[in-house]
Structure 1
Amino acid sequence: GAFLIPYLIFLFTCGIPLFFLETALGQYTSQGGVTAWGKICPIFEGVGYASQVVECYLNIYYIIILSWALFYLFSSFAAVLPWASCNNPWNSDLCVDILNRSSLDNRTLPANATSPMIEFWEKRVLGLTDGIHKLGTVRWELALCLLLAWIICYFCIWKGVKSTGKVVYFTATFPYVMLIILLVRGVTLPSAAEGIIFYLKPDISRLSDPQVWMDAGTQILFSYAICQGCLTALGSYNKYTNNCYRDCIMLCFLNSATSFIAGFAIFSVLGFMAREQGVPISEVAESGPGLAFIAYPAAVTMMPVSQLWSCLFFLMLIFLGLDSQFVCVESTVTALVDLFPGVFRKKGRRELLILAIAVTCYLLGLLLVTEGGMYIFQLFDYYAASGTCLLFLAIFEVICVGWVYGKWRI
């Protein structure tokens, strides 16, 4: 709950203004994320190059989440969800079915007991090693899922923005259908209200924690694709007279409203999960990959027809991830085409460029689907596109447009 306060502050002071700035820049220069900055202020063209470096990192590691989601989706078609019990070859002697923890005597639980969901995630999916110094071998199943994700991405964007737009009509709207279904299912579960209260009730004391503010700022910058070259690239395809101000306001509020409503779908299920396990909600609430690949899969095992809810959830993740990946790749492609128009605007060159990017990113991404790849993924996540990086880029963008280019010329 306390997170919503700094989130709203950053939304109105940073998110919406920067979203509009980058989109308008692309629309009025008709250039990608690098050359647009060179047009208004050549000395600040480095801002564009820096944003493309961030984008290249995202192209490599963000799609790994899609490979995990595809793995879980395929696993959801089993007669019994494989993370629902400890009766699998990859489970250890420390595995305990914590879904029925309320009926267990705590004295019978080992101090280092784990759940079947955690063991499925760490042992079956990731094959996690002791550290980054032990990368181990490539998880071939994840490598195939990653290959499938790149094949889907390539054939959805290879013909340009117009064909991508037709695909996005489905991939962007279908998740809303699934979100509504999951929301209705979530709020009708027992103890869903407790989870929603936990979600909305602010802990004012947390506002003194700088990390809460940093997380809120990072969430705004990352979820709005600010300082990544995406908005400038997409804006460059707009008509010169398009009302981008109206579009930006609508998209920003739609984005934040979707995130807010998704919170109800997630926390209502976590409230139900806490009731079933007999523990506080704070103990079942996870962040990052843990929420999508441990907490929510654990919750669906408690529902009737658990395979259906699992499939719907991971399909939603896949479609949302694909939309983000489309934009990431399109940003890089547009930047390169505008930098080297004589090379890439010839017939068939754009398709070859996208293929080269896809193959290169796939080969580099194989490092992240090794047994120690999760540690490399975390390095990318914490440093490659961190809130600090995006914040510095945002500051330079504002200085460039508001001071060097001049506010009176805008």
Structure 2
Amino acid sequence: MNKKRPTENKQEGVEERGHWGSKVEFLLAVAGNVVGLGNVWRFPYLCYKNGGGAFLVPYVVFVVTCGVPLFLLETTIGQYTQEGGITCWRKLCPLAEGIGYGGQLILLYSCMTYILILSWALFYLVFSFSSQLPWASCDNDWNTDACVDFSSRNKSIQWTNQTNSSSAATEFWERRVLAISGGIEQIGSVRWEVLLCVIAMWVTCYFCVWKGVRSTGKVVYFTATFPYAMLVVLLIRGLSLPGALQGVLFYLLPEPSRLTDPQVWMEAGAQIFFSYSIGVGSLTVLGSYNTYNNNCYRDCLWLCLLNSGTSVVAGFAVFSVLGFMAHEQGIPISEVAESGPGLAFIAYPQAVAMMPLPQVWSICFFVMLILLGLDTQFVAMEVVMTSITDMFPAVMRRAGRRERFLLLFCLTCFFCQLVMITEGGMYVFQMFDYYACNGACILFLCVFETLALGWVFGVERLYGIIKDMTGVSANPFFKVCWLYLTPLVSLGSFIFSLVEYQPLTFNRWYVYPDWAYVLGWLLALSSILLVPGWALYKLGTGTGSLRQRVRELCRPDHDFQLTRGKEAELQLVGGEDTKCFTG
């Protein structure tokens, strides 16, 4: 199973690239990567915000036209080339190699922001072992006179009469965890407790990834399955609470009029590109550790179903609890549901504080949150490491080199994110999340990815590759998607995101200074400009006429295709009379 590819020159001291230890490891790694915090929190909130059940219509449209086709496309090219997110383009379409660099840069930004969410969850988990949850009362040093304790029913009356009141959970989040300052101009001091949590998370991720797929493949057996057990427990508990039905109906009740709102469609598309982890090379790298004849076509269809199914089920778990909160406080659900960190670190902690045995449910919730995030985080790290290792295999695959470079990568991300752990760090975190890792950047990469593979490399080649690797023919609908639907829908969404651009604000009241917006756009352009920038660089440094250079850079590596064919013949079992597609 861990044989070295025939394309590799045997060099003394150079380690083998290897494969997954089993098919289950691949499935769990991909499932852990694509099923993350976005499924559990972002999808239910967007569904509620954009018309309840009506949101499912644009969601399904984007799943069919973009999500599944791109998921299959990236996994296929990874399994076929057995290369990372950058070097795979050298084998298929060298002119488009900038797509790989752009995707890795987005993953680098994501690694810095995502680990901070895990650190906040660890912070809450530690406090979950207290005799009384600190966000359940207003008797703490950090609380103000405006604090309201929702654990007592009579306080909900007080809440409705005080416009400047804040819940105990909100004050714990803003004043104890973040100690948030007045703006990005006021960075303040480092939050040392959060810093310790960040260090703990980086150490955990380092040892999950340091041996490559040999360690990652084993870790996912726990980290990818245990969150599902926690989600089922929280779902059963949530549905048994008073007011749960009210929350579920609020979650699913459709508003057909919202289907005419372009913003609803834009947010549905952004959710697909985030939750399916497409456009950044993650699926390419994970697929590259498969053997050549793995049935990636069937795997992709089942994994896409698992991803969207988890999002829908998580919606029931979340909104049953929010319905309980609305019932207990006597207020509409619209006043207790918030997005992102607000939902994960204010609404739900506040909800568990109102349940019997709150410590137990708090521990279950934050353990689930950490494991969901860990999967996505260390797979992103593995993707970056694999992509760089495949660029310099003779250097990076020598004993001990990978571990040392991974340590350097972790330290670099850690020191770059220190500014996010300060009192003004939340503003920096939100700026990175909004600009550097946003959907517009990923949409741009996906447009050129489908154009490069569908039109330049050739959709017929792709079909031949899938047929040769899996022994089955892909549905002709994917051909229509790769040629027309996916690039057009992605381009339309990208243009709309620019037309409807809204400057970033924090909590609807804080407006960032102009220099922060300039910095944010520079972060966004840093990945986008790598695509045309790399193409212009290769064209400018090539030899021959411009037409000859374009033709050469758009031509797949024919020798590589022949080599893959020979390897496939060695791996075929059962005497199938299937010849490798060498196009």
TM-score by length of 2: 0.69
Q: Secondary structure of 2:417's match? A: helix
Instruction: Indicate the residue corresponding to 2:100 in structure 1.
Output: 48
Q: Who is 1:175 aligned against?
A: 227
Alignment pair present for 1:396 and 2:435: no
Preserved contact between residue 336 and residue 347 of structure 2 (Cα < 8 Å): yes
Deviation, structure 1 residue 343: 1.4
- Equivalent position SS for 2:225: helix
Residue 95 of structure 1: CA displacement?
A: 1.1
- Cα displacement (A) at 1:274: 0.2
Q: Structure 2 unaligned runs (5+)? A: 1-51, 463-583
Secondary structure class of the residue paired with 1:80: coil
Alignment of 1:158-197 (within 5 A): 158-197=210-249
Work out the CA distance in 2 between the residues paired with 1:394 and 1:229.
10
- Partner Cα separation in structure 1 for residue 381 and residue 88 of structure 2: 18
Counterpart residue number, 1:67 = 119
Residue aligning to 1:259? 311
- Cα distance in structure 2, aligned partners of 1:50 and 1:33: 10
* Conservation of the 8 A alpha-carbon contact between 1:38 and 1:45: yes
> What's the offset of the Cα at 1:100?
4.3
Is 1:346 matched up with 2:398? yes
Q: Is the 8 A contact 1:25 1:36 kept in 2?
A: yes
Residues 214, 387 of structure 1: 8 Å contact kept:
no
Would you say the 8 A contact 2:247–2:320 is kept in 1? yes
Spell out the pairing of 1:362-401 with structure 2 (5 A cutoff).
362-401=414-453
- The one-letter code matched in structure 1 to 2:205 is C
CA–CA distance in structure 2, aligned partners of residues 326 and 226 of structure 1: 16
1:358 aligns with 2:388: no
Asked if structure 1 preserves the Cα contact closer than 8 Å seen for 2:156 and 2:330, the reply is no
Corresponding residue of 2:142: 90
- The answer to whether 1:293 aligns with 2:345 is yes
Deviation at 1:12, TM superposition (A): 1.1
Partner of 1:3: 55
Q: Report the CA distance between 1:116 and its aligned residue.
A: 0.7
Letter in structure 1 aligned against 2:276: Y
Q: Which of 128, 131, 134 is 1:76 aligned to?
A: 128
Measure, in 1, the Cα distance between the counterparts of 2:410 and 2:156. 50
Displacement of 1:206 in angstroms is 2.0
Distance 1:107 1:377 in 2: 30
* Cα distance in structure 1, aligned partners of 2:351 and 2:279: 36
| Counterpart selection for 1:157 from 189, 205, 209 | 209
Deviation at 1:210, TM superposition (A): 2.2
- Amino acid of the structure 2 residue aligned with 1:318: I
User: Which residue of 1, 4, 29 corresponds with 2:81?
Assistant: 29
TM-aligned CA distance change 1:207 to 1:271, over 3 Å: same
Preserved contact between residue 143 and residue 168 of structure 2 (Cα < 8 Å): yes
Aligned positions, number: 410
Report if aligned partners of 1:83, 1:120 keep a CA contact under 8 Å in 2: yes
The answer to whether the Cα contact below 8 Å between 2:148 and 2:158 also exists between their aligned partners in 1 is: no
Distance in 1, matches of 2:198 and 2:327, equals: 36
Structure of greater Rg: 2
Contact 2:112 2:413 in 1 (8 A): yes
Between the aligned partners of 2:146 and 2:160, the Cα distance in structure 1 is: 11
8 Å CA contact retained: 1:100, 1:276: no
Conservation of the 8 A alpha-carbon contact between 2:149 and 2:155 = no
Quick check: 1:138–1:370 contact (8 Å CA) kept in 2?
yes
- Please list, as runs of the form range in 1=range in 2, the aligned pairs for 1:121-136 lying within 5 A after superposition: 121-136=173-188
Give the whole-Å Cα distance in 2 for the aligned partners of 1:100 and 1:215.
37
Match of 1:334 in 2: 386
Letter in 2 for 1:348: G
* Aligned-pair CA distance for 1:106: 5.3
The TM-score with structure 1 as length reference comes to 0.98
Q: Which moved more, 1:382-391 or 1:301-310?
A: 382-391
Report if the CA contact (8 A) 1:95-1:119 is conserved: yes
How far did 1:388 drift?
A: 0.9
1:293 and 1:14 map into 2 onto residues whose CA distance is 31
Higher relative contact order (CA 8 A, sep 6+): 1
- How far the C-alpha of 1:354 sits from its partner, in A, is 1.1
Between the aligned partners of 1:104 and 1:96, the Cα distance in structure 2 is 8
1:272-308 deviation digits (Å, cap 9, x = unpaired) = 1100000111111111111110000011011000000
Which of these residues, 249, 253, 265, is aligned with residue 201 of structure 1?
253
> Conserved in 1, the CA contact under 8 Å of 2:248 and 2:320?
yes
CA apart distance, 1:104: 5.3
Of 357-366 and 104-113, more deviation after overlay is shown by 104-113
Change over 3 Å in CA distance of 1:339–1:361 after alignment to 2: same
